[in-house]
Structure 1
């Protein structure tokens, strides 16, 4: 047996990540589990790898993904010294994972290309990947439901886009010869619309497990069926993508950003499998929005550029306005002021007189795009340090907010943003009135984001409350009671 050469690249990467061998081993186990693989990697195995023993190819990919998430950038195994001439990377590899017992690769394990785009699993059958994700979600597997937002998963390598899209377009059919048709597509869309309406009106924690269960059972079976026409098959795949996106949105509203990110990736895979570039663009925009909401804007401009590339000239004016507004915000949070202002102006021009009846199905599900445009422009202005302009944008985000309104959650959140901008300008009494209206909309709404918003309201008012400002004291008492109520009835905890 020859002398081993220490793997200095791997050692330096672990040192840069600032973690122990035990922590890296735990991350490798978690990454492998996300894609259905099993590994017994421990700190001793990591020490052996650093000393020069090579892990199997599947484990090498899981290790690479684990370090990419720690470091916040995309990596390939070669950058960590994990591949050498003659090293078989196409299967589990013959070389042992010293001390970890190897990795048992199931469908979608790292060895099948699932980590080709930063762990997104876009290179495999989207139905198989969704089935594993929903199974783990329903089972409450900690590494899935409590997964952190991963910056590396948000990276979109433009030069790989077409290759990945081609690989993601293969969906197997049911071996038993099950058939489906237009009626099944209509039924799935009816369920999607019902779940979406309930989400907008009552918050993400209402019916979250029902959406996941429906995806896991009915929708997965539909997508495997044999349809009477290719158009019907593509419509079902598109509907599955919309439901995966809804599951992600509900996870995000339940304070589970990492789980939400993984559902969005599944939605992207279905859009690609259905051959719908415009739908791909929509999901990429959602992923950019999600990154900004999670405070991780590193790849948001790149995601928006990729969205616009997929969209091409297909956008109607209302959709184009929304893309421009999201891109303006992406520039703003990165401090690119001139570009943010230019893109904000473009969003407003595009939205003037736009006919929203031209919105595609997957966008129209969420109602009017105009208030969403204003919401993004408000957040862009806030990021640029322009609270008065931000207040004006938020105030014009006219969501359906009446007592029986269909969008009470987002209306309340928009009012929360408006009040925050008023408070920053010293309009304390006005801010407290605005926030009071927000609280009035929250009856029966179960949303972790609303809990966070009300908590931030109290934080904004804390200095004024300490100085005895009557408006601040009165509102704080209401907010404190509201938070106590939602904690008691379970709305304040992740679902």
Structure 2
């Protein structure tokens, strides 16, 4: 052990990042928590690694991701002074060249409850390079040997219809029910369609329809806090949209990636992705324009740019006023979404009262069928009301959250439930808080027994 050579690669990365060993340990712990790991890394662990000890296999990606985020570029095992990783059978990677094959690998793993647990711990990469739309058009592999199936407009309509139905189930019952259905449909039906023979117009339409479904599946994974998996689906959606020359889904997917970065508190990345989405859609219709500008407003608020944030909100409102009354099932943008963005912007800028008012406005105009969205909004609203010291109002909002939560199967809703229970522990002498917590305990018991 005394003959182990120091790891000059890792030491060089520490120097490039301008980090102490303790700072690297803190970042590794943060990323581990993000991916569902409890790492417990300390500066003493880092000191051993710099001294030549190779970190455990599941820790190495966390270290590489920490440096990638700090240095704003991918960092390899070789650069960190470690042997190259051995590919694990059945584990999809972000770099797979064949999008259809990669989609099948990801979807099959997502269908399997045991493999899904593994995927849930996969890392979100803040330094992932995003392919530009023009780079993707006509680049995707579209030919496969041995085709025996021919598809037409009917199969495209099937994919579109199933995507809308899955979106409806997501709204009503939650992502834990909807996402496995989407993954199974992607693997068993959509992937064979993408490999089938068809006229060029049908091929393009099928790629676009598949991109829409993969985007929705990625959004569900992101919403369920499976961030590495969500990012993997999003990247597939970008590639399919590029191959289909589908600007709308490409931009919508980038916007979803911006929301994911915002949720993970990567403020600069969130704004960068939101701006990229808007720049890629110069001829967007008013509803898509509003959809993208709203996310730009949130991104600007997260980096503290008050002037740009409110300018983007005004742009969002103006664009939405020009849109028709139709609301798309997938990635639609309506008045409820606009007020949600107003709330998010004001909260990020420290104006909690205005944020609360806007979230109440969002709920007021939200369609009744959007149970999952309403539960999320009420979960946030109650937390902000409590921050203002309005315990009675927060308890009333959490009561409405529980009305929806009883019917939902959703990791995000579970998170709101856990936050509610934790926040209420300090108020057990208050009647409304005590009654709400008693209701929550009984509801948890019923859901566990179901």
Same fold (TM over 0.5): yes
State the alpha-carbon separation in 2 of the partners of residues 279 and 317 from structure 1.
15
Residues 1:199 and 2:170 are matched in the alignment: yes
TM-score, normalising length from structure 2? 0.80
| CA pair 164-8 structure 1, distance change in 2 beyond 3 A | farther
State the alpha-carbon separation in 2 of the partners of residues 430 and 107 from structure 1.
49
Structure 2 partner of 1:457: 420
**RMSD, matched Cα:** 3.7
- 5+ long unaligned stretches in structure 2: 36-47
User: How big is the shift at 1:449?
Assistant: 0.9
User: How big is the shift at 1:164?
Assistant: 4.0
Pick aligned residue for 2:73 from 67, 72, 75? 75
Render the CA deviation track for 1:122-165: whole Å, top value 9, x for unaligned.
x7232122112113333443553321322223x54xxx625742
Pick aligned residue for 2:136 from 159, 165, 170? 165
| CA pair 470-247 structure 1, distance change in 2 beyond 3 A | same
Structure 1 partner of 2:196: 225
Structure 1 partner of 2:339: 374
Structure 1 partner of 2:297: 328
State the alpha-carbon separation in 2 of the partners of residues 436 and 105 from structure 1.
46
Q: In the alignment, is the contact (CA less than 8 A) between 2:13 and 2:80 conserved in 1?
A: no
Structure 2 partner of 1:239: 209
Residues 1:272 and 2:279 are matched in the alignment: no
Structure 2 partner of 1:470: 431
Residues 1:182 and 2:153 are matched in the alignment: yes
User: How big is the shift at 1:422?
Assistant: 2.6
User: How big is the shift at 1:338?
Assistant: 2.5
Quick check: 180-189 or 478-487, which moved more?
Answer: 478-487
Q: In the alignment, is the contact (CA less than 8 A) between 2:255 and 2:277 conserved in 1?
A: yes
State the alpha-carbon separation in 2 of the partners of residues 188 and 78 from structure 1.
38
| CA pair 473-392 structure 1, distance change in 2 beyond 3 A | same
Residues 1:126 and 2:99 are matched in the alignment: yes
Residues 1:427 and 2:396 are matched in the alignment: no
User: How big is the shift at 1:220?
Assistant: 0.4
State the alpha-carbon separation in 2 of the partners of residues 182 and 445 from structure 1.
35
- 5+ long unaligned stretches in structure 1: 31-42, 50-62, 84-96, 110-118, 490-495
Pick aligned residue for 1:483 from 434, 444, 448? 444
| CA pair 367-400 structure 1, distance change in 2 beyond 3 A | farther
State the alpha-carbon separation in 2 of the partners of residues 82 and 475 from structure 1.
51
Residues 1:151 and 2:126 are matched in the alignment: yes
User: How big is the shift at 1:14?
Assistant: 6.5
State the alpha-carbon separation in 2 of the partners of residues 459 and 66 from structure 1.
29
Quick check: 413-422 or 135-144, which moved more?
Answer: 135-144
Count the aligned residue pairs: 414
| CA pair 377-367 structure 1, distance change in 2 beyond 3 A | same
State the alpha-carbon separation in 1 of the partners of residues 358 and 226 from structure 2.
28
Q: In the alignment, is the contact (CA less than 8 A) between 1:238 and 1:274 conserved in 2?
A: yes
Residues 1:310 and 2:280 are matched in the alignment: yes
What secondary structure does 1:180 align onto? coil
User: How big is the shift at 1:480?
Assistant: 3.1
State the alpha-carbon separation in 1 of the partners of residues 176 and 255 from structure 2.
23
Quick check: 288-297 or 381-390, which moved more?
Answer: 288-297
Q: In the alignment, is the contact (CA less than 8 A) between 1:267 and 1:283 conserved in 2?
A: yes
TM-score, normalising length from structure 1? 0.73
Render the CA deviation track for 1:397-422: whole Å, top value 9, x for unaligned.
147878xx421111122122223333
State the alpha-carbon separation in 1 of the partners of residues 76 and 423 from structure 2.
48
Q: In the alignment, is the contact (CA less than 8 A) between 1:10 and 1:80 conserved in 2?
A: no
Structure 2 partner of 1:345: 314
